[in-house]
Amino acid sequence: MTKWEYLSITVASTKTITIGNPRVHRKIQKINEIQLENWKEGLPFYEHLNQLGEQGWEMVYINESDYDSDLPGTAFLFFKRRKE
């Protein structure tokens, strides 16, 4: 029987405005409910996703809460990979 391990990621959004140009930045804030130090200065979100893919993780679920057109809220991502 195949055994799986799971990973949960909390993604937070921050907003910056540079001369009238608002930008939303998504950063990984927590991994398995553990807060990352200096998460706001961390790698861009897509780089984390690429690293997870290289490590064999597959995203199986995403849920974005408190969505608002100006600033998306927190997203919760769940991944799984075959347990070795």
Three-state SS string over the chain comes to: CCCEEEEEEEEEEEEEEECCEEEEEEEEEEECCEECCCHHHCCCHHHHHHHHHHCCCEEEEEEECCCCCCCCCCEEEEEEEECC
Listed in sequence order, the residues at least 6 apart from 69 whose beta carbon sits closer than 8 Å to its beta carbon are none
Quick one: pLDDT at residue 56?
96
Write down the domain spans for the chain. Answer: 4-82
Q: What is the mean pLDDT of the chain?
A: 84
- The β-bridge relationship of strands 21-31 and 75-82 is unpaired
| pLDDT digits 0-9 by tens, 59-70 | 999 987 654 444
Q: Is the pTM of this model over 0.85?
A: no
